[in-house]
Structure 1
């Protein structure tokens, strides 16, 4: 006979056991990939993106796969990183083309990012086969009719509007419109006289002229090595689309230069820079960091705007509920972060990994070991603090699935105008006085913090696509060229910046260069 107390004990045990099973079941369903991706319907899955269009020539082409179940519902958690396989080959089996196709990147939300880099031109085209457990996915195999040009093929599209349409460039870029309000006209003669006088000793300036789609330049200043980044982007762009004749200056230093107000007499001069500020009038381009990483994706860099999307750490519920920062000592507020971290270790893990600007403080503050960037995303909250200018890690942090706590700043990059505090990230006062409170808010409002993090990630995925970067450079130069007065000129001390001419650049351009050359002669 079981006593009443014994029955209560058994009931209590069963109740606790069942609750544990429920909690365990929820944990499994939320945080663990679907075993074997059993619910996926290959024919209902979605495949799309510019990497399936021959005209969208990029260093690394890319497209997307959305996993869909047998009920027609998009998966919103990872079904497993090996759910899909992709094979890409030349349609003409006699064409021996090297094509680097790494496994699809699992973005953790049911979608996958497929990347591939061509090392030769596929004259007849490519076949793209997307498989799930050896079953073709969606409308696979896909045929990309040739020619499909590789990155180093010098074969620009003569019609810029055609190129913009193929690249799906946005109709308007708010930052470009804002930057050019100060420059209704660009007097090239004044530019040639004033810019060297005022700025030649301010770090590094590169004076470019693009004539007949050929690039020429001269350098000014002590620190001009970073011209390699502007050179490589302009060369890449002119291989893809014909640019108007244009003459301009690029500032390859950290700080924007032109401080004159628009109502000054004479007014400000247009200088292209990788960073803008509320106190200057420079025309902003995408930073050299995101530009170079885009050009060298899957080759010369570890972190880029595509690879980071597949390395965003554990799901939100499994991340450590702390704010995280690692970086150099390039701004004093970063040292303040370490002090705050020591006082609030349960809220913030911050450390300085390299000392240069405040070496006298290293002994007191300490030096933290380096942490791989992808490991940042083990934490729920990322603190973004300026360096010498805007922190160039910001776009990469936004592409993760952590909540970004961004310091208020006078500095900005080309895409900031699309983002809104409270919607895409959480703003923190410049002196960091409210940072601890913002971290506490995020911990106490987990669902809202997660919503902001996800909204920021979605926006960043759209804004920071490699195609958008090319569109931005093109639209900036096109807008600039339309406001020039005077004729863009190759000056005597300018040197040519040639396209690569080794075997990696070999290709046959089929766009009809004779027609293009004729059009150029008519313009001249």
Structure 2
């Protein structure tokens, strides 16, 4: 307080001609009130953010960066997923799992698949990677679910070996890299065949990021997407009240019928992944399952607010809240959302460091070779669990590489 009062005296000396002694003002100290208020505001602001600052410190204390050799950042999930099958996988289990997805076989280095595939783009997105590694694998077979929803709930005793791209802790499905790294994904007017080609987006979105460095980005949070979940409503409503803080609007999807489907407002135009890079803060929400856009947002070198932690893809476990992104509760209301955004705005250097961590992780640990490596390690470890010799099924046909 002595220092504060002395500073106040120095500040007012030339204005009112007061004399300052150590820690005191000899004139009316009402002129110090402004500085006192500033101090109270600073203390209040620090207290307001104390919870978030503590979370960051805790995250830093426990975080160990992963190594990039042999996709080791991600392989702990393989061990976890396969643990439930530690006693082996029988032919009977595979036959029963076939009702849940598409049967693939790899025999003598060639890839085979059941003739029918419910989603051709999804199958081709999977097969792109299988062809790359088939010569390195033993004879094997596995069932791949190409639907959005996982198939093996953990409340059932009948645990079947089914591969799914996304799941929660309520499912025993074996996680594999989604088809969207190569082809498929949500089809919208900007991406009529789905997002697809992760290798191309790594180039185009990063190029857009260079046009919008941190200091040039718009200082608002941004979201565009259809209303696949009510979890998104509070951000859209906040945007209508605080356009200075958030630009969040609903777009059409295939199920859109009226403005009721966009929360009572006309649907907004879709925005390309590259144009997301204009904004400093980007919100990611799950859709029916994990969001395909999550990985793309980091390429913008913008801060990612990731809502909910239930749904994962294969690379999610290696990414840590408060290190690579800011986590947001799926039940967050408008107040919590505005607090988090304002925290980011008032702690620019701090969140810029989180932004850099997230962008670096995706750039270094989610390359095409990491995806191919994950498939290879997954199928090698999975194949060791098969308790029978795989023979060519009558219903499969060889696929051209």
Q: Could you say which TM-score interval applies, normalised by the shorter chain?
A: 0.7 to 0.9
Unaligned 5+ segments in structure 2 are 1-67, 185-192
SS of structure 2 residue aligned to 1:405? strand
Give me the whole-angstrom Cα distance separating, in 2, the residues matched to 1:403 and 1:260: 34
- The answer to whether residue 316 in structure 2 is matched with residue 416 in structure 1 is yes
SS of structure 1 residue aligned to 2:371? helix
Q: Which residue of 1 aligns with 2:70?
A: 169
Q: CA shift at 1:463, angstroms? A: 1.5
TM-score by length of 2: 0.73
Q: Which residue of 1 aligns with 2:146?
A: 252
The one of 163, 177, 183 equivalent to 1:272 is 163
Q: Which residue of 1 aligns with 2:365?
A: 463
Give me the whole-angstrom Cα distance separating, in 1, the residues matched to 2:78 and 2:272: 34
- The answer to whether residue 177 in structure 2 is matched with residue 286 in structure 1 is yes
> Which range is displaced more, 303-312 or 483-492?
303-312
Q: CA shift at 1:409, angstroms? A: 3.2
Q: CA shift at 1:419, angstroms? A: 1.0
Q: Which has the higher helix share?
A: 2
The one of 289, 295, 305 equivalent to 1:405 is 305
Q: CA shift at 1:492, angstroms? A: 0.9
CA, structure 1 residues 463+353, in 2 after alignment: closer, same or farther (shift >3 Å)? same
Matches for 1:361-440 after TM superposition, within 5 Å: 361-362=260-261, 364-433=264-333, 434-440=336-342
Q: Which has the higher strand share?
A: 1
Give me the whole-angstrom Cα distance separating, in 2, the residues matched to 1:395 and 1:338: 22
Contact kept? 1:175, 1:417, Cα under 8 Å: yes
- The answer to whether residue 229 in structure 2 is matched with residue 331 in structure 1 is yes
Contact kept? 1:329, 1:358, Cα under 8 Å: no
RMSD after superposition: 2.5
Matches for 1:451-490 after TM superposition, within 5 Å: 451-490=353-392
Q: Which residue of 2 aligns with 1:352?
A: 250
CA, structure 1 residues 301+461, in 2 after alignment: closer, same or farther (shift >3 Å)? closer
Question: What does the per-residue CA deviation read over 1:191-224, in whole Å, with 9 as the maximum and x for residues that have no partner?
Answer: 2332235x3xxxxx21011011111111568556
Q: Which residue of 2 aligns with 1:181?
A: 83
> Which range is displaced more, 347-356 or 472-481?
347-356
The one of 232, 241, 246 equivalent to 1:343 is 241
Q: CA shift at 1:496, angstroms? A: 1.3
Give me the whole-angstrom Cα distance separating, in 1, the residues matched to 2:306 and 2:397: 42
Question: What does the per-residue CA deviation read over 1:128-160, in whole Å, with 9 as the maximum and x for residues that have no partner?
Answer: xxxxxxxxxxxxxxxxxxxxxxxxxxxxxxxxx
Give me the whole-angstrom Cα distance separating, in 1, the residues matched to 2:157 and 2:288: 30
Unaligned 5+ segments in structure 1 are 1-166, 200-204, 500-524
Contact kept? 2:115, 2:395, Cα under 8 Å: no
CA, structure 1 residues 224+300, in 2 after alignment: closer, same or farther (shift >3 Å)? closer
SS of structure 1 residue aligned to 2:251? strand
Q: CA shift at 1:362, angstroms? A: 3.7
Q: Which residue of 2 aligns with 1:161?
A: none
Q: CA shift at 1:474, angstroms? A: 0.4
Q: CA shift at 1:305, angstroms? A: 2.7
SS of structure 2 residue aligned to 1:485? coil
Q: Which residue of 2 aligns with 1:495?
A: 397
Give me the whole-angstrom Cα distance separating, in 1, the residues matched to 2:198 and 2:322: 32
Give me the whole-angstrom Cα distance separating, in 1, the residues matched to 2:276 and 2:236: 16
